[in-house]
């Protein structure tokens, strides 16, 4: 029988790639979208991948349990992927209460909707490497203590532990993926990798002349979203639910990531990159480096796209977008 999946955050980067992956697997895919005044543009990522007409969209909101329960009861999914969140770290300091309501309490609402409406379904929670924050070990694994350094990270930590609690309290098949940074051409332009590739493309085409960034010595473990959504799916195919770190095991500075983008565009980074203190975080996460040995061993997962390939793909996609503009 055809499996049915329900994806929150379906119009985001991960939701779009996951939907594409599930459709290729023969799933019937349903997505949750918030009511918006911008009807007609919210599915642009699904349209970029050519799948917008293949995903059934449902109006619901993570902060409204009744809408989630109604959606779960209507869809009766076999698998639920909870990817929706206020996911921009910088905004979490400006909107801490919203971040808590959506990114933290929203997970409880989704788990409650599943427990009441489809208790036999399998649940995936999108946890985050930002939960490690002020790192307690050089490489972060499933057993590394957490030390969140932003309202976003604190909210994600609640979502992570409430998923564990519902798994242990109610016997739900609920797993969390502690995903390290993962990017793609579908990343929002507010995130540093896409900000870099978009601005580099603008400079290449003569639309601007500078890229302003904050702490370019911060280090991150960057992978491609296409690889990471495959790990999400693999978690829900396991007989026993569990938590897994998903990472490449390679850390790179923002500075070196920028250099890849500028070099690919044939530009001199030193002529265009400006350090702007306005972009520093109130509490910085200096380095993240994931140990995904458990995911590789249990799930059989390995990343297929490296950072150089990903950044070059993102620069090319941004050049294509900008050339299409009037």
DSSP per-residue string spanning 256-316: HHHHHHHHHTT--GGGTEEE-GGG--SS---B--B--HHIIIII-------HHHHHHHHHH
Which residue in the list 124, 152, 158, 244 is annotated as catalytic?
A: 152
Give, for 261, the enclosing helix (H) or strand (E). Answer: helix 254-264
Structure tokens at 228: 């990471």
The bridge status of strand 219-220 relative to strand 252-253 is: antiparallel
Question: Is residue 128 flagged as an active site residue?
Answer: yes
Question: Is residue 132 flagged as an active site residue?
Answer: no
Residue 55, classed as helix, strand or coil, is coil
Which residue in the list 19, 87, 127, 128 is annotated as catalytic?
A: 128
Which residue in the list 130, 150, 183, 244 is annotated as catalytic?
A: 130
Structure tokens at 107: 């997970």
DSSP per-residue string spanning 115-136: HHH-TTSEEEEEEEGGGT-S-S
CB 187 within 8 A of CB 228: no
Question: Is residue 130 flagged as an active site residue?
Answer: yes
* Axis crossing angle, helix 192-204 with helix 254-264, rounded to the nearest 10: 30
- Number of CB atoms found within 10 A of residue 189's CB: 12
- Number of CB atoms found within 10 A of residue 210's CB: 12
Question: Residues with catalytic annotation?
Answer: 128, 130, 152
């Amino acid at each position: 029988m055809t499996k049915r999946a329900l994806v929150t955050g379906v119009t985001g980067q991960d939701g779009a790639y996951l939907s594409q992956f599930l459709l290729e697997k023969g799933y019937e895919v349903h997505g949750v979208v918030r009511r918006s005044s911008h009807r007609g543009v919210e599915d642009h990522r699904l349209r970029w991948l050519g799948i917008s007409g293949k995903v059934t969209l449902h109006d619901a909101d993570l902060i409204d349990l009744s809408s989630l329960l109604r959606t779960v009861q209507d869809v009766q999914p076999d698998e639920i992927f909870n990817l929706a969140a206020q996911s921009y770290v910088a905004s979490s300091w400006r909107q801490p209460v919203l971040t808590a309501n959506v990114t933290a309490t929203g997970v409880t609402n989704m788990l409650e909707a599943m427990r009441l409406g489809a208790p036999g379904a399998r649940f995936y929670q999108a946890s985050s490497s930002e939960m490690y924050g002020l790192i307690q070990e050089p490489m972060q694994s499933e057993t590394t203590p957490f030390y969140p350094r932003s309202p976003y990270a604190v909210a994600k930590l609640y979502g992570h532990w409430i998923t564990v609690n519902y798994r242990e309290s109610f016997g739900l098949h609920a797993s969390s993926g502690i995903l390290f940074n993962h990017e793609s051409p579908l990343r929002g332009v507010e995130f540093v990798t896409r900000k870099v590739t978009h601005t580099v493309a603008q400079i290449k085409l003569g639309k601007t002349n500078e890229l302003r960034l904050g702490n370019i010595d911060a280090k991150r473990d960057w992978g491609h979203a296409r690889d990471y959504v495959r790990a999400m799916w693999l978690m829900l195919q396991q007989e026993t639910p569990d938590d897994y770190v998903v990472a490449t095991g390679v850390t790179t500075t923002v500075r070196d990531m920028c250099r890849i983008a500028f070099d690919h565009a044939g530009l001199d980074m030193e002529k265009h990159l400006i350090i702007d203190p306005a972009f520093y975080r109130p509490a910085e996460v200096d380095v993240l480096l994931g140990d995904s040995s458990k995911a590789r061993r249990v799930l059989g997962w390995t990343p297929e796209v490296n950072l150089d390939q990903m950044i070059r793909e993102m620069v090319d996609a941004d050049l294509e977008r900008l050339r299409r503009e009037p």
